[in-house]
Structure 1
Amino acid sequence: MHSPALKATAWMGGTLVSFAAMAIAARELSADLGTFQILAVRSLIGLLLVSAILSRVGWQQLSLQNIKLHLIRNLAHFCGQFGWFYAIAFIPLAAVFAIEFTVPIWTAIFATILLSERITRARVLAILFGIVGVLVILRPGLDVVHPAALAILGGAVAYGLSHTLTKKLSGSDSTLCILFFMMLIQLPLGFVPAAFDWVPLTAAHWPWVVGVGITGLTAHYCMVRALSLADATLVVPMDFLRLPLIALVGYALYDEHLDGFLALGAALILAGNLINLMRERRKVPDHQ
């Protein structure tokens, strides 16, 4: 049987692909729609999809036992999402993802405080390798001096808290329960401010709108499954691999600059994750 760490890695692969696809859809929509409207339609489509699934598998999966924790988690997550979607519209995709990759630092801090998780040397190495890799890609002289850069940095802190609370919730609530409350709570958070500057959706918008809704759901479904299998401080550093992936997407679709520093940074990021995964693998007996 595969180890929980390897299963978590597979689920994080789905997370990476989903987030990359969502970034493309968000970039396309941002030309016409505001950030709050994108978040609102994303939550609406996600809520419809989760509700359809629950109608088939059973609504008994929902529980109000941890509703306060769901509220806190989704307030944090909404702030993280706002920073992410806002930045997507204004700065290069790779820059957004690179700044976002301070998330493992905040997640490790929050997980230590709230979940009493141990930060092992392997996990510290994974985080350090990842951060150094991000710095190599960004390097001194970066010209991302834009409010969007501050927005995504603040969003990274919020995401760190959200990831940690997701791990806490995954111990008692099902994945569908977490996703349902995520969409339900965040729908009014996006819709109310968006209503003041709502742009009518056209036929050209709908494929991207549906794409944002579906990939937002699959990204978080995969993330929740990964977090249910392994510690947050193991799972979240794997997310570093989104950076080289989105840099390639930005280069291919939007002619965003790609250079040799990306390869070096990506190699450091991959090395850190491999060290972490190999150490976790050694903890699991071969017969499991």
Structure 2
Amino acid sequence: MLASGASFVGVNGLVRWLGTDLPAPQAAFLRFGFGLLFLLPSVWQGVRRGVTPGTLPLYAGRGAVHTVAVVLWFYAMARLPVAEVTAIGYLNPVLVTLGAVVFFGERLALRRVLAVGVAICGALIVLRPGLRELGSGQLAQLGAAFCFAGSYLFAKRLSQTEGAAMVVAMMSLFVTLGLLPLALLVWVPVTPVQLAALALVAVFATVAHYCMSRAFAVAPLTVTQPVTFLQLVWATLLGALVFGEGVDGFVLLGGGVIIGAISYITWREARLKRGVVTPAAGATGD
């Protein structure tokens, strides 16, 4: 998870460094185009094997939502401090929790309701509406958080019948196809340096997701989830040392509140799952 977080910060830093010279749809298309090259073997295997009946609309729906999400994220990343984008992005799992209640009928216990409320308070600390003007960057990142949450809900539904490699490969394929017409509408000349930077973004993103998958395979979420808070620390250091961005105490405080609420939800759900599979005291012998 440490390596995953560092890789995600590398993604953020490179996109922040690219700035606004490339339109967001074009930059996102090039990033996903390079990522699709890495996943071509998985895509080819999926095409040869064929998709499960009834899943194609789900793949297409996820691709559409994720396409909007990455365009909004690229737009926000080029205009906001790295730490602020990272902090607002912590809302994703909170929104996924609420979406699971709405779309999958999952029960929302009182403790989870309170934790979600605390996380929303954390987001308000970061955004500070009424105390400062919310610009297009903040609004874009909020929109990205909602859209990424929608993408994860599609992925959760697909994971019931599809393998993880297939889900990731098909997402990359549909997002690349979805970004292509948007990129062509705003296309500007690209320099070799910009292409190299976006290829490196794709490398960092691939490494980040691989490391996260490995962490989830060998450690419980109660261990891995709190480590994601370090992304905010690294993002703050990156913004301050590389881009000369000021350290915003409200962003750090709000991000900490959000990740604390997420960690509590994760810990609570892990305890409930253990309660189902762990024998009662005295039920087993020595």
TM range (shorter): 0.7 to 0.9
Picking from 5, 10, 32, the partner of 1:43 is 32
Q: Is the 8 A contact 1:175 1:225 kept in 2?
A: no
Cα distance in 1, alignment partners of residues 132 and 184 from structure 2: 34
C-alpha displacement at 1:171, in angstroms? Answer: 1.8
Q: Is the 8 A contact 1:247 1:258 kept in 2?
A: yes
**Is 1:92–2:81 an aligned residue pair?**
yes
Cα distance in 2, alignment partners of residues 14 and 169 from structure 1: 27
Picking from 10, 26, 37, the partner of 1:21 is 10
**Is 1:33–2:10 an aligned residue pair?**
no
C-alpha displacement at 1:223, in angstroms? Answer: 6.7
Greater CA deviation, 191-200 or 179-188?
191-200
Q: Is the 8 A contact 1:104 1:236 kept in 2?
A: no
Deviation sequence 1:189-241 (CA, Å, 0-9, x none):
22223224433333322331112222333455567789999xx9xx9998666
CA RMSD, 1 decimal: 3.7
Q: TM-score, normalised by structure 2?
A: 0.77
Indicate the residue corresponding to 1:64 in structure 2: 51
C-alpha displacement at 1:176, in angstroms? Answer: 1.6
Indicate the residue corresponding to 2:282 in structure 1: none
Deviation sequence 1:85-127 (CA, Å, 0-9, x none):
1111122223333444443443223211222222234433443
Q: 1:153 to 1:140 in 2, by over 3 A?
A: closer
Indicate the residue corresponding to 2:283 in structure 1: none
Picking from 250, 253, 271, the partner of 2:260 is 271
C-alpha displacement at 1:22, in angstroms? Answer: 1.5
What amino acid maps onto 2:96 in structure 1?
T
Q: 1:77 to 1:54 in 2, by over 3 A?
A: closer
Cα distance in 1, alignment partners of residues 225 and 152 from structure 2: 8
Matches within 5 A, 1:228-239: none
Q: Is the 8 A contact 1:130 1:272 kept in 2?
A: yes
Cα distance in 2, alignment partners of residues 83 and 25 from structure 1: 16
Q: Is the 8 A contact 1:170 1:227 kept in 2?
A: no
Deviation sequence 1:234-253 (CA, Å, 0-9, x none):
x9998666444423322222
Cα distance in 1, alignment partners of residues 70 and 14 from structure 2: 14
Q: 1:152 to 1:271 in 2, by over 3 A?
A: closer
**Is 1:159–2:148 an aligned residue pair?**
yes
Flag structure 2 segments of 5+ consecutive residues without an equivalent. Answer: 280-286
C-alpha displacement at 1:39, in angstroms? Answer: 1.2
Indicate the residue corresponding to 2:240 in structure 1: 251
Cα distance in 2, alignment partners of residues 40 and 247 from structure 1: 27
Indicate the residue corresponding to 1:3 in structure 2: none
Cα distance in 1, alignment partners of residues 94 and 86 from structure 2: 14
Greater CA deviation, 80-89 or 150-159?
150-159
Question: Could you say what secondary structure the match of 2:192 adopts?
Answer: coil
Greater CA deviation, 114-123 or 236-245?
236-245
Deviation sequence 1:46-76 (CA, Å, 0-9, x none):
1110114567xx5589542211101001111
Cα distance in 2, alignment partners of residues 278 and 161 from structure 1: 23
Q: 1:34 to 1:178 in 2, by over 3 A?
A: same
Q: Is the 8 A contact 1:98 1:243 kept in 2?
A: yes
Cα distance in 2, alignment partners of residues 110 and 140 from structure 1: 24
Cα distance in 1, alignment partners of residues 185 and 73 from structure 2: 21
Identity %: 30
Indicate the residue corresponding to 2:192 in structure 1: 203
Greater CA deviation, 198-207 or 151-160?
198-207
Picking from 47, 68, 72, the partner of 1:83 is 72
Cα distance in 1, alignment partners of residues 217 and 63 from structure 2: 18
Size of the aligned set, in residue pairs, is 273
C-alpha displacement at 1:45, in angstroms? Answer: 1.0
Greater CA deviation, 276-285 or 17-26?
276-285
Cα distance in 1, alignment partners of residues 177 and 232 from structure 2: 31
